[in-house]
């Protein structure tokens, strides 16, 4: 029995994709690569773990009243910004503010958690570390359509370009 052309094309494409995909061990996630900030700029990786509490609620990060991006459960985004003091806010029934001193050529981390509230979850924005980000297993970039008009948040294609550029400029050992 002969397979229809469209099915054989799909099967061939799937076979090639599996053959060329990097091997992963069961239960292992691919490591997230955070590119360095552009020269003279700093950056903050905002992330949210994939916990069950408040998973349906977004964590919208704002600066100066302008939305930068929403963080869904298990998502992250990278904000490139100027050095200096910055205040970021998240709110639902309550508001939380995180002030960070951004340094040139430095990457900082901030985690948004959703805590129990009276009517809705309460977002909590706190400083974090690269180690906590890695341990959290947050491995999905925020979709471009979840980003706001606020400047600096890297879109997925910009992150891919920055990772690619840093890979070609980083000397191998």
Q: DSSP letter string over 49-78? A: ---STTTTS-EEEEETTEEEEEE-TTEEEE
Q: What is the pLDDT of residue 100?
A: 97
In whole angstroms, what separates CA 108 from the centre of its chain? 13
Q: What is the pLDDT of residue 95?
A: 80
Task: pLDDT tens for the chain, 173 residues: list them.
Answer: 444 444 333 333 333 333 333 444 445 556 789 999 999 999 999 999 875 544 456 688 999 989 999 988 899 999 999 999 999 999 766 788 999 999 999 999 999 987 765 555 678 899 999 999 999 999 999 999 889 888 899 999 999 999 998 887 655 44
Q: Are 49 and 113 in contact (CB under 8 A)?
A: yes
Phi, psi of 85, deg, nearest 5: -85, 135
Phi, psi of 145, deg, nearest 5: -75, -10
* Domains delineated in the chain: 42-143 (2.60.40)
Block residue for tokens 């977002």: 123
In whole angstroms, what separates CA 20 from the centre of its chain? 25
pLDDT digits (tens, 9 = 90+) for 9-31: 333 333 333 333 344 444 555 67
Q: What is the pLDDT of residue 92?
A: 67
- CA pair distance 33, 17, nearest whole angstrom: 22
Residues whose CB is less than 8 angstroms from the CB of residue 78 and which lie 6 or more positions away in sequence, other chains included:
34, 35, 43, 44, 45, 46, 153, 154, 159
């Amino acid at each position: 029995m002969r397979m229809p052309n469209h099915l054989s094309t799909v099967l061939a494409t799937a076979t090639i994709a599996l053959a060329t995909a990097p091997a992963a061990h069961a239960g292992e996630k691919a490591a997230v690569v955070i590119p360095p900030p552009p020269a003279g700029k700093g950056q903050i990786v905002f992330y949210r773990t994939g916990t069950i509490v408040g998973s349906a609620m977004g964590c919208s990060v704002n600066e100066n009243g302008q939305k930068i991006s929403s963080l869904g459960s298990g998502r992250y985004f990278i904000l490139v910004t100027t050095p200096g003091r910055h205040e970021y806010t998240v709110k639902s029934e309550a508001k939380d503010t995180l002030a960070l001193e951004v340094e040139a050529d430095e990457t900082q981390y901030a985690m948004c958690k959703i805590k129990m509230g009276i009517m809705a979850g309460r977002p909590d924005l706190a400083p974090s570390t690269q180690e906590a980000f890695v341990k959290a297993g947050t491995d999905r970039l925020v979709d471009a359509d979840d980003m706001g008009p606020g400047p600096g948040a890297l879109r997925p294609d910009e992150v891919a370009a920055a990772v690619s550029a840093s890979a070609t400029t980083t000397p191998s050992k």
